[in-house]
Amino acid sequence: MKQEIMDRLCPRHCVVLLMLLAVALLASNASATAMRHPSIIGGHNSVKGDWPFMAALIQKSFLTSGQTSFCGGSYIGGRWVLTAAHCVVDENGRKILPGSIEVNIGSGDLATDRDNVIDVKKIWVDPSFKISPLTNDIALLELHRQPVDVHPVAILSAMELEQAALSYWPAIVLGRGSRSHYQLSEQPNIRERPRTELFEADVQLAPEGACNDIFNSIKATNDIPDSVLKIDPVNGTMLCAGNPSGATDTCLGDSGGPLLVQYGDKYYLAGITSWGFGCGIPGLYSVYTKVPAYLSKIEEVTDLSLVGTDSNIPGGKGYLLSTMDSEDSGGGAPGLWLIVLLGLLYILKKSYPDRQKTPPHKCTSAFYHSPIRIFYRMPRSIDRENHEEV
Protein backbone atom coordinates (compact mmCIF):
# COMPACT_ATOMS: atom_id res chain seq x y z
CA MET A 1 0.00 0.00 0.00
CA LYS A 2 2.85 2.36 0.93
CA GLN A 3 4.58 1.71 -2.38
CA GLU A 4 1.29 2.28 -4.25
CA ILE A 5 0.92 5.71 -2.67
CA MET A 6 4.52 6.65 -3.49
CA ASP A 7 4.06 5.50 -7.09
CA ARG A 8 1.02 7.75 -7.42
CA LEU A 9 2.68 10.76 -5.83
CA CYS A 10 6.05 10.84 -7.63
CA PRO A 11 7.60 12.43 -9.48
CA ARG A 12 5.29 15.33 -10.44
CA HIS A 13 3.43 15.51 -7.13
CA CYS A 14 6.67 15.32 -5.15
CA VAL A 15 7.96 18.37 -6.99
CA VAL A 16 4.83 20.32 -6.05
CA LEU A 17 5.11 19.25 -2.41
CA LEU A 18 8.80 20.17 -2.24
CA MET A 19 8.02 23.61 -3.66
CA LEU A 20 5.37 24.15 -0.98
CA LEU A 21 7.85 23.09 1.72
CA ALA A 22 10.46 25.48 0.38
CA VAL A 23 8.02 28.39 0.42
CA ALA A 24 7.04 27.62 4.01
CA LEU A 25 10.68 27.41 5.12
CA LEU A 26 11.49 30.75 3.53
CA ALA A 27 8.45 32.33 5.14
CA SER A 28 9.50 31.02 8.55
CA ASN A 29 12.53 33.29 8.44
CA ALA A 30 10.78 36.26 6.87
CA SER A 31 9.16 39.24 8.54
CA ALA A 32 5.49 38.86 9.46
CA THR A 33 4.73 42.42 8.37
CA ALA A 34 1.73 42.40 6.01
CA MET A 35 1.77 44.17 2.66
CA ARG A 36 -0.81 46.85 2.00
CA HIS A 37 -2.95 46.15 -1.05
CA PRO A 38 -5.83 48.12 -2.50
CA SER A 39 -9.19 46.45 -1.92
CA ILE A 40 -12.91 46.98 -2.30
CA ILE A 41 -12.28 49.28 -5.29
CA GLY A 42 -9.89 52.13 -4.69
CA GLY A 43 -9.87 51.40 -0.97
CA HIS A 44 -7.15 50.99 1.63
CA ASN A 45 -6.44 48.92 4.73
CA SER A 46 -8.57 49.78 7.73
CA VAL A 47 -6.77 50.55 10.98
CA LYS A 48 -7.23 47.68 13.40
CA GLY A 49 -9.87 48.59 15.97
CA ASP A 50 -11.55 51.36 13.97
CA TRP A 51 -14.60 49.27 13.10
CA PRO A 52 -15.15 46.79 15.95
CA PHE A 53 -18.71 46.02 14.81
CA MET A 54 -17.64 44.76 11.36
CA ALA A 55 -18.61 41.13 10.82
CA ALA A 56 -17.42 38.56 8.30
CA LEU A 57 -19.67 35.67 7.23
CA ILE A 58 -17.65 32.51 6.74
CA GLN A 59 -18.71 29.17 5.34
CA LYS A 60 -17.57 26.36 7.61
CA SER A 61 -15.00 24.35 5.71
CA PHE A 62 -11.77 22.56 6.58
CA LEU A 63 -10.10 23.83 3.43
CA THR A 64 -10.72 27.55 4.11
CA SER A 65 -9.66 27.38 7.78
CA GLY A 66 -12.03 30.25 8.59
CA GLN A 67 -9.95 32.79 6.69
CA THR A 68 -12.19 33.53 3.71
CA SER A 69 -15.46 35.43 4.00
CA PHE A 70 -18.24 35.33 1.42
CA CYS A 71 -20.15 38.34 2.79
CA GLY A 72 -19.95 41.06 5.41
CA GLY A 73 -22.28 42.17 8.16
CA SER A 74 -22.70 44.60 11.06
CA TYR A 75 -23.00 43.75 14.75
CA ILE A 76 -25.97 45.73 16.11
CA GLY A 77 -26.05 44.48 19.72
CA GLY A 78 -27.01 41.47 21.82
CA ARG A 79 -26.46 38.36 19.73
CA TRP A 80 -27.47 39.92 16.41
CA VAL A 81 -25.68 40.64 13.15
CA LEU A 82 -27.29 42.53 10.26
CA THR A 83 -26.49 41.48 6.69
CA ALA A 84 -27.97 41.17 3.18
CA ALA A 85 -30.66 38.56 2.56
CA HIS A 86 -29.07 37.37 -0.68
CA CYS A 87 -26.00 36.36 1.36
CA VAL A 88 -27.95 33.70 3.23
CA VAL A 89 -30.26 32.23 0.59
CA ASP A 90 -29.61 30.11 -2.47
CA GLU A 91 -30.64 31.02 -6.02
CA ASN A 92 -34.12 29.64 -5.35
CA GLY A 93 -34.64 31.85 -2.31
CA ARG A 94 -34.23 29.10 0.28
CA LYS A 95 -32.35 29.96 3.46
CA ILE A 96 -29.06 28.20 4.05
CA LEU A 97 -28.67 26.17 7.22
CA PRO A 98 -27.49 28.31 10.16
CA GLY A 99 -25.04 25.59 11.13
CA SER A 100 -23.21 25.89 7.81
CA ILE A 101 -21.76 29.33 8.59
CA GLU A 102 -19.96 31.20 11.35
CA VAL A 103 -19.35 34.90 11.97
CA ASN A 104 -16.10 36.65 12.86
CA ILE A 105 -16.79 39.99 14.57
CA GLY A 106 -14.31 42.82 15.07
CA SER A 107 -11.51 41.20 13.10
CA GLY A 108 -8.94 43.32 11.28
CA ASP A 109 -7.50 40.22 9.62
CA LEU A 110 -9.44 36.96 9.47
CA ALA A 111 -6.18 35.00 9.35
CA THR A 112 -5.04 36.16 12.78
CA ASP A 113 -7.95 37.77 14.67
CA ARG A 114 -10.32 35.05 15.86
CA ASP A 115 -11.40 36.18 19.33
CA ASN A 116 -15.05 36.45 18.32
CA VAL A 117 -15.71 33.61 15.88
CA ILE A 118 -19.25 32.54 16.72
CA ASP A 119 -21.65 29.99 15.26
CA VAL A 120 -25.00 31.11 13.86
CA LYS A 121 -28.09 29.86 15.68
CA LYS A 122 -30.88 31.27 13.53
CA ILE A 123 -31.34 33.17 10.27
CA TRP A 124 -34.16 35.64 9.69
CA VAL A 125 -34.85 36.89 6.16
CA ASP A 126 -37.33 39.67 5.45
CA PRO A 127 -40.59 37.94 4.38
CA SER A 128 -40.89 40.39 1.46
CA PHE A 129 -37.42 39.61 0.11
CA LYS A 130 -37.28 39.00 -3.65
CA ILE A 131 -34.21 37.75 -5.44
CA SER A 132 -35.06 39.18 -8.87
CA PRO A 133 -35.37 42.06 -9.02
CA LEU A 134 -33.51 42.28 -5.73
CA THR A 135 -35.73 43.97 -3.13
CA ASN A 136 -35.97 43.99 0.68
CA ASP A 137 -32.43 42.67 0.77
CA ILE A 138 -32.01 42.42 4.53
CA ALA A 139 -31.42 39.57 6.98
CA LEU A 140 -30.55 39.05 10.64
CA LEU A 141 -28.29 36.40 12.12
CA GLU A 142 -28.84 35.30 15.70
CA LEU A 143 -25.58 34.06 17.20
CA HIS A 144 -25.12 31.30 19.77
CA ARG A 145 -23.51 33.76 22.15
CA GLN A 146 -22.86 37.47 22.49
CA PRO A 147 -19.42 38.65 21.32
CA VAL A 148 -16.99 40.06 23.88
CA ASP A 149 -15.03 43.32 23.85
CA VAL A 150 -16.80 44.68 20.76
CA HIS A 151 -19.39 47.42 20.49
CA PRO A 152 -22.49 47.59 18.28
CA VAL A 153 -22.77 50.10 15.48
CA ALA A 154 -25.29 52.90 15.87
CA ILE A 155 -28.10 53.26 13.31
CA LEU A 156 -28.61 56.62 11.64
CA SER A 157 -32.11 58.07 11.86
CA ALA A 158 -34.27 58.12 8.72
CA MET A 159 -34.51 61.91 8.75
CA GLU A 160 -30.77 62.43 9.03
CA LEU A 161 -30.11 59.92 6.25
CA GLU A 162 -32.61 61.61 3.95
CA GLN A 163 -30.88 64.94 4.44
CA ALA A 164 -27.48 63.35 3.88
CA ALA A 165 -28.54 61.72 0.59
CA LEU A 166 -30.05 64.94 -0.76
CA SER A 167 -26.80 66.73 0.04
CA TYR A 168 -24.54 64.07 -1.55
CA TRP A 169 -22.80 63.52 1.76
CA PRO A 170 -19.61 61.46 1.93
CA ALA A 171 -19.83 57.91 3.25
CA ILE A 172 -17.54 54.97 3.94
CA VAL A 173 -17.96 51.37 2.81
CA LEU A 174 -16.20 48.39 4.40
CA GLY A 175 -15.43 44.99 2.93
CA ARG A 176 -13.01 42.30 1.85
CA GLY A 177 -14.22 41.92 -1.72
CA SER A 178 -12.94 42.29 -5.26
CA ARG A 179 -10.52 45.05 -6.25
CA SER A 180 -11.37 44.73 -9.95
CA HIS A 181 -13.35 47.15 -12.09
CA TYR A 182 -16.08 45.46 -14.17
CA GLN A 183 -17.80 47.10 -17.11
CA LEU A 184 -21.47 46.51 -17.98
CA SER A 185 -20.79 43.56 -20.28
CA GLU A 186 -17.73 42.17 -18.52
CA GLN A 187 -17.59 38.67 -17.07
CA PRO A 188 -16.41 38.63 -13.42
CA ASN A 189 -13.16 36.91 -12.50
CA ILE A 190 -14.46 34.00 -10.47
CA ARG A 191 -10.94 33.02 -9.39
CA GLU A 192 -10.38 36.22 -7.45
CA ARG A 193 -10.68 35.50 -3.76
CA PRO A 194 -11.73 37.93 -1.02
CA ARG A 195 -8.89 39.15 1.17
CA THR A 196 -8.60 38.31 4.83
CA GLU A 197 -7.80 41.92 5.73
CA LEU A 198 -10.49 44.56 6.17
CA PHE A 199 -10.56 47.50 3.76
CA GLU A 200 -12.48 50.74 3.51
CA ALA A 201 -13.26 53.20 0.73
CA ASP A 202 -14.77 56.67 0.49
CA VAL A 203 -17.95 57.12 -1.56
CA GLN A 204 -20.75 59.67 -1.62
CA LEU A 205 -24.50 59.33 -1.23
CA ALA A 206 -26.92 60.25 -4.02
CA PRO A 207 -30.62 61.20 -3.98
CA GLU A 208 -33.15 58.59 -5.04
CA GLY A 209 -34.29 60.60 -8.07
CA ALA A 210 -30.81 61.11 -9.49
CA CYS A 211 -30.00 57.44 -9.05
CA ASN A 212 -33.22 56.31 -10.76
CA ASP A 213 -32.55 58.60 -13.72
CA ILE A 214 -29.27 56.78 -14.34
CA PHE A 215 -30.79 53.31 -14.03
CA ASN A 216 -33.74 54.24 -16.26
CA SER A 217 -31.30 55.38 -18.93
CA ILE A 218 -29.41 52.07 -18.74
CA LYS A 219 -32.68 50.12 -18.90
CA ALA A 220 -33.90 51.99 -21.98
CA THR A 221 -30.57 51.86 -23.79
CA ASN A 222 -30.07 48.13 -23.26
CA ASP A 223 -33.72 46.98 -23.37
CA ILE A 224 -33.55 45.29 -19.96
CA PRO A 225 -36.81 43.51 -19.01
CA ASP A 226 -38.87 44.61 -16.01
CA SER A 227 -38.30 41.24 -14.33
CA VAL A 228 -34.67 42.24 -13.92
CA LEU A 229 -34.75 46.02 -13.70
CA LYS A 230 -38.00 47.91 -13.48
CA ILE A 231 -38.48 51.62 -14.10
CA ASP A 232 -37.39 53.64 -11.07
CA PRO A 233 -35.84 50.57 -9.40
CA VAL A 234 -34.56 52.46 -6.36
CA ASN A 235 -37.37 52.95 -3.84
CA GLY A 236 -37.68 54.17 -0.28
CA THR A 237 -36.05 51.03 1.11
CA MET A 238 -32.88 51.52 -0.92
CA LEU A 239 -29.94 53.90 -0.90
CA CYS A 240 -27.49 54.85 -3.65
CA ALA A 241 -23.81 55.64 -3.20
CA GLY A 242 -20.70 55.67 -5.32
CA ASN A 243 -18.00 57.81 -6.85
CA PRO A 244 -18.61 59.98 -9.95
CA SER A 245 -15.22 58.94 -11.35
CA GLY A 246 -15.69 55.25 -10.53
CA ALA A 247 -12.48 55.32 -8.51
CA THR A 248 -14.10 53.74 -5.45
CA ASP A 249 -16.95 51.26 -5.17
CA THR A 250 -18.08 48.00 -3.61
CA CYS A 251 -17.89 44.81 -5.67
CA LEU A 252 -18.14 41.02 -5.46
CA GLY A 253 -17.49 39.84 -1.92
CA ASP A 254 -18.60 43.06 -0.21
CA SER A 255 -22.30 42.09 0.05
CA GLY A 256 -23.90 42.50 3.44
CA GLY A 257 -21.24 44.89 4.68
CA PRO A 258 -21.96 48.35 6.08
CA LEU A 259 -22.23 51.75 4.47
CA LEU A 260 -21.46 54.33 7.14
CA VAL A 261 -22.26 58.03 7.35
CA GLN A 262 -20.50 60.45 9.65
CA TYR A 263 -22.84 62.58 11.73
CA GLY A 264 -21.16 64.83 14.25
CA ASP A 265 -17.96 63.15 15.39
CA LYS A 266 -19.16 59.56 14.95
CA TYR A 267 -20.06 57.12 12.17
CA TYR A 268 -23.48 55.48 11.92
CA LEU A 269 -24.89 52.58 9.94
CA ALA A 270 -26.96 53.77 6.98
CA GLY A 271 -26.87 50.99 4.39
CA ILE A 272 -26.17 47.33 3.63
CA THR A 273 -24.16 46.55 0.48
CA SER A 274 -26.57 44.94 -1.99
CA TRP A 275 -26.19 45.19 -5.80
CA GLY A 276 -25.09 47.23 -8.78
CA PHE A 277 -24.26 47.27 -12.49
CA GLY A 278 -20.68 46.10 -12.88
CA CYS A 279 -18.18 47.55 -10.41
CA GLY A 280 -16.47 50.92 -10.35
CA ILE A 281 -18.09 52.33 -13.50
CA PRO A 282 -17.87 56.14 -13.74
CA GLY A 283 -21.25 57.82 -13.40
CA LEU A 284 -23.02 54.76 -11.94
CA TYR A 285 -24.03 54.19 -8.35
CA SER A 286 -24.23 50.99 -6.34
CA VAL A 287 -27.38 50.18 -4.39
CA TYR A 288 -27.60 49.58 -0.65
CA THR A 289 -30.45 48.47 1.59
CA LYS A 290 -31.59 51.50 3.60
CA VAL A 291 -31.30 50.31 7.20
CA PRO A 292 -33.44 53.02 8.91
CA ALA A 293 -36.39 51.94 6.74
CA TYR A 294 -36.37 48.57 8.52
CA LEU A 295 -35.81 49.80 12.07
CA SER A 296 -39.17 48.63 13.43
CA LYS A 297 -38.75 45.17 11.86
CA ILE A 298 -35.25 44.85 13.27
CA GLU A 299 -36.46 45.76 16.75
CA GLU A 300 -39.35 43.32 16.51
CA VAL A 301 -37.14 40.39 15.50
CA THR A 302 -34.21 41.08 17.82
CA ASP A 303 -36.10 42.48 20.82
CA LEU A 304 -33.44 45.19 20.92
CA SER A 305 -34.38 48.77 21.71
CA LEU A 306 -32.78 50.64 18.83
CA VAL A 307 -34.97 53.74 18.83
CA GLY A 308 -32.73 56.76 19.33
CA THR A 309 -29.47 54.87 18.77
CA ASP A 310 -28.32 57.78 16.66
CA SER A 311 -28.03 59.89 19.80
CA ASN A 312 -27.30 57.55 22.70
CA ILE A 313 -25.06 54.76 21.43
CA PRO A 314 -21.78 55.89 19.88
CA GLY A 315 -20.55 53.80 16.98
CA GLY A 316 -17.70 53.39 14.53
CA LYS A 317 -14.61 55.37 15.36
CA GLY A 318 -16.32 56.65 18.49
CA TYR A 319 -15.08 53.37 19.95
CA LEU A 320 -11.36 52.69 19.62
CA LEU A 321 -10.81 49.71 21.88
CA SER A 322 -7.65 50.16 23.94
CA THR A 323 -7.49 46.39 24.42
CA MET A 324 -6.90 45.85 20.70
CA ASP A 325 -3.23 45.80 19.75
CA SER A 326 -2.47 47.93 16.72
CA GLU A 327 0.63 45.93 15.80
CA ASP A 328 0.65 43.06 13.34
CA SER A 329 0.29 39.79 15.18
CA GLY A 330 2.13 37.84 12.51
CA GLY A 331 1.18 34.22 11.96
CA GLY A 332 2.38 34.07 8.37
CA ALA A 333 4.61 31.03 8.75
CA PRO A 334 2.07 28.79 10.54
CA GLY A 335 -0.41 29.70 7.85
CA LEU A 336 1.97 28.53 5.15
CA TRP A 337 2.63 25.28 6.95
CA LEU A 338 -1.13 24.79 6.76
CA ILE A 339 -0.86 25.38 3.00
CA VAL A 340 1.72 22.57 2.86
CA LEU A 341 -0.68 20.23 4.63
CA LEU A 342 -3.55 21.25 2.35
CA GLY A 343 -1.25 20.76 -0.65
CA LEU A 344 -0.55 17.21 0.42
CA LEU A 345 -4.25 16.54 0.92
CA TYR A 346 -4.94 17.98 -2.53
CA ILE A 347 -2.32 15.68 -4.08
CA LEU A 348 -3.83 12.65 -2.35
CA LYS A 349 -7.26 13.73 -3.57
CA LYS A 350 -6.00 13.93 -7.16
CA SER A 351 -4.32 10.55 -6.77
CA TYR A 352 -7.58 8.90 -5.68
CA PRO A 353 -10.35 10.79 -7.49
CA ASP A 354 -12.77 7.88 -7.26
CA ARG A 355 -12.85 8.24 -3.48
CA GLN A 356 -13.67 11.93 -3.38
CA LYS A 357 -16.89 13.84 -3.90
CA THR A 358 -16.79 17.54 -4.69
CA PRO A 359 -19.83 19.46 -3.40
CA PRO A 360 -21.62 21.62 -5.97
CA HIS A 361 -21.28 25.36 -5.80
CA LYS A 362 -22.08 28.37 -7.91
CA CYS A 363 -18.94 30.25 -8.88
CA THR A 364 -20.48 33.54 -9.98
CA SER A 365 -23.03 35.82 -8.43
CA ALA A 366 -23.99 37.58 -11.64
CA PHE A 367 -27.64 37.22 -12.61
CA TYR A 368 -29.59 38.01 -15.78
CA HIS A 369 -27.59 36.33 -18.54
CA SER A 370 -27.33 39.06 -21.15
CA PRO A 371 -24.69 41.47 -22.45
CA ILE A 372 -25.51 43.74 -19.51
CA ARG A 373 -24.64 42.20 -16.16
CA ILE A 374 -26.11 43.09 -12.79
CA PHE A 375 -24.06 41.88 -9.85
CA TYR A 376 -24.87 40.97 -6.33
CA ARG A 377 -21.94 42.18 -4.25
CA MET A 378 -21.29 38.52 -3.37
CA PRO A 379 -18.63 36.27 -4.96
CA ARG A 380 -20.50 32.96 -4.88
CA SER A 381 -23.36 31.17 -3.16
CA ILE A 382 -23.17 28.82 -0.23
CA ASP A 383 -23.27 25.09 -1.00
CA ARG A 384 -26.79 24.65 -2.33
CA GLU A 385 -27.26 21.38 -0.43
CA ASN A 386 -27.16 23.28 2.87
CA HIS A 387 -30.48 25.08 2.83
CA GLU A 388 -33.90 25.21 4.36
CA GLU A 389 -37.19 26.63 3.20
CA VAL A 390 -37.73 30.38 3.80
Average pLDDT over residues 239-267: 86
Nearest to 370 by CA among 221, 190, 178, 191: 221
Task: Name the β-bridge partners of 23.
Answer: none
Does the pLDDT of residue 120 top 80, yes or no?
A: yes
Find which of 15-19, 172-176, 343-347 is predicted with most confidence, using mean pLDDT.
172-176
pLDDT tens, residue by residue, 370-388? 334 455 555 444 444 455 5
Q: How far apart are CA 335 and CA 102, in angstroms?
A: 20
Question: Residues with Cβ < 8 Å from 311, sequence gap 6 or more?
Answer: none
Q: Are residues 26 and 48 in the same domain?
A: no
Least trusted range by pLDDT, from 14-18, 124-128, 156-160, 195-199: 14-18
Q: Is residue 231 one of the residues assigned to a domain? A: yes
State the average pLDDT for the chain. Answer: 72
More confidently predicted of 266 and 369: 266
Q: Are residues 14 and 105 in the same domain?
A: no
Does the pLDDT of residue 275 top 80, yes or no?
A: yes
Name the amino acid, one letter, at 86: H
Q: Are residues 114 and 14 in the same domain?
A: no
Average pLDDT over residues 187-211: 82
Q: How far apart are CA 241 and CA 206, in angstroms?
A: 6
Find which of 19-28, 214-223, 321-330, 352-361 is predicted with most confidence, using mean pLDDT.
214-223
Q: Are residues 62 and 189 in the same domain?
A: yes
How many other C-beta atoms lie within 10 A of the C-beta of residue 301?
A: 16
Model confidence at 250, in pLDDT bands (50, 70, 90)? confident
Domain count within the chain: 2
Model confidence at 61, in pLDDT bands (50, 70, 90)? confident
How many other C-beta atoms lie within 10 A of the C-beta of residue 174?
A: 27
Q: Are residues 9 and 126 in the same domain?
A: no
Nearest to 93 by CA among 135, 144, 143, 141: 135
Average pLDDT over residues 162-190: 78
| β-pairing verdict for 374-376 and 266-277 | antiparallel
Q: How far apart are CA 191 and CA 11, in angstroms?
A: 28
Name the percent of the chain lying above pLDDT 90: 38
Average pLDDT over residues 79-92: 93
Classify residue 26 as left (phi > 0), alpha (psi -120 to 50) or beta.
alpha
**In this predicted structure, what is the pLDDT of residue 353?**
36
Does the pLDDT of residue 273 top 70, yes or no?
A: yes
Q: Is residue 197 one of the residues assigned to a domain? A: yes
Q: Are residues 351 and 225 in the same domain?
A: no
Q: Is residue 376 one of the residues assigned to a domain? A: no
Q: Are residues 172 and 293 in the same domain?
A: yes
**In this predicted structure, what is the pLDDT of residue 251?**
81
Q: Are residues 20 and 71 in the same domain?
A: no
From residue 354, alpha-carbon distances to 18, 269, 342, 349, 357 in Å are: 25, 49, 19, 9, 8
The H-or-E segment that residue 301 falls in is helix 295-302
Average pLDDT over residues 35-42: 42
Model confidence at 83, in pLDDT bands (50, 70, 90)? very high
Torsion of CA 199, 205, 210, 215, to 10 degrees: 20
Q: Is residue 188 one of the residues assigned to a domain? A: yes
Q: Are residues 10 and 54 in the same domain?
A: no
Question: Residues with Cβ < 8 Å from 352, sequence gap 6 or more?
Answer: 8
Q: Are residues 116 and 255 in the same domain?
A: yes
318, 347, 374 - which closes a domain:
318
Return the beta strands (E) in the chain as ranges: 44-45, 54-59, 71-77, 80-83, 95-96, 101-105, 117-125, 130-131, 134-135, 139-143, 170-175, 199-206, 238-242, 258-263, 266-277, 286-290, 366-367, 374-376, 387-388
More confidently predicted of 131 and 19: 131
Q: Is residue 39 one of the residues assigned to a domain? A: no
Model confidence at 112, in pLDDT bands (50, 70, 90)? confident
Question: Residues with Cβ < 8 Å from 212, sequence gap 6 or more?
Answer: 232, 233, 234
Model confidence at 307, in pLDDT bands (50, 70, 90)? low
pLDDT tens, residue by residue, 162-174? 999 999 999 999 9
From residue 81, alpha-carbon distances to 61, 187, 203, 204 in Å are: 21, 31, 23, 25
pLDDT tens, residue by residue, 204-242? 999 999 999 999 998 998 888 888 889 999 999 999 998
Average pLDDT over residues 251-257: 86
Task: Name the β-bridge partners of 199.
Answer: 45, 175
How many other C-beta atoms lie within 10 A of the C-beta of residue 168?
A: 14
Question: Residues with Cβ < 8 Å from 240, sequence gap 6 or more?
Answer: 165, 205, 206, 207, 208, 210, 211, 234, 285, 286, 287, 288
Name the percent of the chain lying above pLDDT 70: 61
**In this predicted structure, what is the pLDDT of residue 145?**
96
pTM: 0.71
Q: How far apart are CA 168 and CA 243, in angstroms?
A: 10
Q: Are residues 105 and 184 in the same domain?
A: yes
CATH number for the domain harbouring residue 301: 2.40.10.120
Q: Is residue 366 one of the residues assigned to a domain? A: no
Average pLDDT over residues 94-113: 89
Q: Provide the domain limits for residue 21.
A: 2-30+338-355
Q: Are residues 25 and 87 in the same domain?
A: no
Find which of 44-48, 57-61, 229-233, 318-322 is predicted with most confidence, using mean pLDDT.
229-233
Q: Is residue 311 one of the residues assigned to a domain? A: yes
pLDDT tens, residue by residue, 137-151? 999 999 999 999 899
Q: How far apart are CA 375 and CA 28, in angstroms?
A: 40
Q: How far apart are CA 91 and CA 336, in angstroms?
A: 35
Q: Is residue 329 one of the residues assigned to a domain? A: no
